[in-house]
Amino acid sequence: MRITLVQGDITEQRADAIVNAANSSLLGGGGVDGAIHRRGGPEILAECRALRASAYDKGLPTGQAVATTAGRLPARWVIHTVGPVYSRSEDRSHLLASCYRASLGVAAELGAHTVAFPAISTGIYGWPLDDGARIALKTVRETPAPGIEEVSFVLFDATAYAEFDRALRGPGQAV
């Protein structure tokens, strides 16, 4: 599996599946979630509502992932996952890792070959970028994902890109 970094907007990616940093309501929000629903159109929200009504009447639990189609986006599917809110007092990194693992599992089940991730939890949910990047890359590297050829991390700004680039090179590497 190839891992690549892109600076840009995830809604413009042509990956088979793009991942949404959603919340457990699955009914939209700000950040990446807002951008995906805005650009993807009402079809995605309609599918999210149907998922709420059937499998997730109490909401999608933190660390889990579920797919819808991608509406008007250039991707085929949107995989919605719920990142943990960052906490200084409690280690929730297993939940953040679970988001990447569960999303790759859903992508593999769908038959996706290419998957694009945002930096889950590092915006509104307050996760420090350096730690969020480390967990993202370690988890994706360690997760077997049959059929997935490329995972890209789509970072919205230069700071996020630099943190992922640093984490990709590993500790102790020159920047």
Binding stretches for ligand AR6 (CB under 6 A): 9-11, 21-23, 29-33, 35, 83, 118-125, 154, 156, 160
Supply the minimum distance, in Å, between the C-beta of residue 153 and ligand AR6: 9
Detail the DSSP E strand segments found in the chain.
Answer: 2-7, 17-22, 65-69, 77-82, 114-117, 150-155
Q: Which of 33, 91, 130, 165 is catalytic?
A: 33
Compare residues 10 and 107 and give the one whose CB is closer to ligand AR6: 10
Tokens of 156: 């919205």
Q: Is 33 a catalytic residue?
A: yes
Distance from C-alpha of 19 to C-alpha of 107, rounded to nearest angstrom? 9
Distance from C-alpha of 175 to C-alpha of 169, rounded to nearest angstrom? 8
Supply the minimum distance, in Å, between the C-beta of residue 26 and ligand AR6: 9
Compare residues 11 and 143 and give the one whose CB is closer to ligand AR6: 11
DSSP for residue 84: P
Compare residues 59 and 105 and give the one whose CB is closer to ligand AR6: 59
Supply the minimum distance, in Å, between the C-beta of residue 146 and ligand AR6: 26
How do beta strands 150-155 and 77-82 pair? Answer: unpaired
Active site residues: 33
